[in-house]
Structure 1
Amino acid sequence: MTTYGQFCPVAKAMELLDERWTILVVRELLLGSRHFNELRRGVPKMSPALLTKRLRTLERAGVIRRSDVGGRSVYTLTEKGEELEEIVTALSAWGIRWIGELGDADLDPHLLMWDIHRSMPIERWPRRRAVVEFGFSDVVGKARSWWLVVSDGVPQVCDFDPGYGVDATVATDLRTLTEVWRGDIDWQNALAEQLITITAPTEVRREIPSWIGQSSTAAVPRPA
């Protein structure tokens, strides 16, 4: 752990929070991840060993608690940890407003699809089981194709064909869908400029943008 040797409260807080990945682990817990594998999906480039280490550090600091439920470890934020929500929300808004440029290394289909599946407006999906397939033209290998499945109000994201009938197919590139999700561009312009192509019956094709939506930070005002 970094030690600044200052009595300043900001310095003391950062001694815990500025280690790499720590605040992102907190973000995942705030977004509802409870199990180790769920946390891993929210920080896919973080090694399992480092995630374990960060969880232990946060537990010792009283930010999270670990309990055993049915033989599985469950991680939840304590009152101390929940107070970080305002900080994470403010960082998110500041980052989307002022740090807008995305490099190729920032694009990750695993994280994008995981984030979409847990944040999209489920209430707008049909009451029956519905499936949307995504194809990324610029991604090579298995991560090129993804499926979102909503059944009985429960969303799932799959990197393999779940074997159900597909209601719509969304064809695009990874950067475009990432920028739409972040709110850098909107669905209307992406479709008008044919950056995204939706193949589906007309009534379903019109609904796909509202099924998927955009992230919570998409509404944050940006500099002119």
Structure 2
Amino acid sequence: MYRYEQHCPVARAAEVLTEPWTLLVLRELLRGAERRADIAKGVPRMSASLLTARLRTLVANGLVVEVVHHPRDKRYRLTEAGRGLRPVVDQLGRWGQRWLTPPGLRDLDTDVLLHDICGQMTQDRLPEQPLTVAVAVADALDSGRWWLALSPSGATVHRGAPPRGADVRLACTLSGLAGIWLGRQSWLRAVRDGSVVFTGQPDTVRAVLACVGVSRYATRETA
């Protein structure tokens, strides 16, 4: 951990929080991830050893505690100090959304984007009955096929085709989906101009759209 050796609380906080990947690990913890595997889904390009190091730093500085149910079930939970960073992380996300240039295609990752979408679906927006959404991303660099499992208990993303068919099918481009999620274009306009194409029963499609919404960092949603 880099030391500024200053009394200033901004400098002292920066020592803990501004190391590479630390804020993204905190972002995942603030979304409710507790297991290493769940945290890693939001930071897929982070090595396992570096994730371990960052979690140790957060524990050492009182932002996170380790909870061990049994040797194979270690979890990481935010302390009061860690939870107190929620408005900081949220404001940083909103600042980046407002003032930085939109992400380019090289900054987009389908797994991370769909994980982000699933992770921000709130309990009251999830469907009363389980739904499966097949997602085909036209310009993805890999297989371009994913599926989402939506249920009252949560939302998860998976690679490939759903094992038992899909209730709804979504065809889109990665940049188009990212633009909607970040609030630069509304779902309604995207559907009208063909940026995204939904296939399924109208009521089921509406139920899926009600779940998704936009990112908590979106500054506004275009009509």
Q: TM-score normalized by structure 1?
A: 0.90
- The whole-number CA distance in structure 1 between the counterparts of 2:169 and 2:150 is 15
Aligned to 2:2: 2
CA contact (8 A) 1:121 1:212 kept: no
- 1:1-224 aligned at under 5 Å gives the runs 1-70=1-70, 71-121=72-122, 123-142=124-143, 144-218=144-218, 220-221=219-220
CA contact (8 A) 1:121 1:213 kept: no
- The whole-number CA distance in structure 1 between the counterparts of 2:164 and 2:150 is 11
- The whole-number CA distance in structure 2 between the counterparts of 1:200 and 1:178 is 22
Structure 2 unpaired stretches of 5+ = none
Partner amino acid, structure 2, of 1:74: R
Q: How far off its partner does 1:126 sit?
A: 4.0
Q: TM-score normalized by structure 2?
A: 0.91
Q: How many residues align?
A: 220
CA contact (8 A) 2:126 2:152 kept: no
Q: How far off its partner does 1:125 sit?
A: 4.7
- The whole-number CA distance in structure 1 between the counterparts of 2:205 and 2:61 is 49
CA contact (8 A) 2:126 2:154 kept: no
Q: How far off its partner does 1:206 sit?
A: 4.2
3-state SS of 2:45 partner: coil
CA contact (8 A) 1:182 1:215 kept: yes
* Greater CA drift, 147-156 or 65-74: 147-156
Q: 1:86 to 1:107 in 2, by over 3 A?
A: same
3-state SS of 1:161 partner: coil
Q: 1:185 to 1:100 in 2, by over 3 A?
A: farther
- What's the Cα RMSD here? 1.8
Q: 1:199 to 1:82 in 2, by over 3 A?
A: same
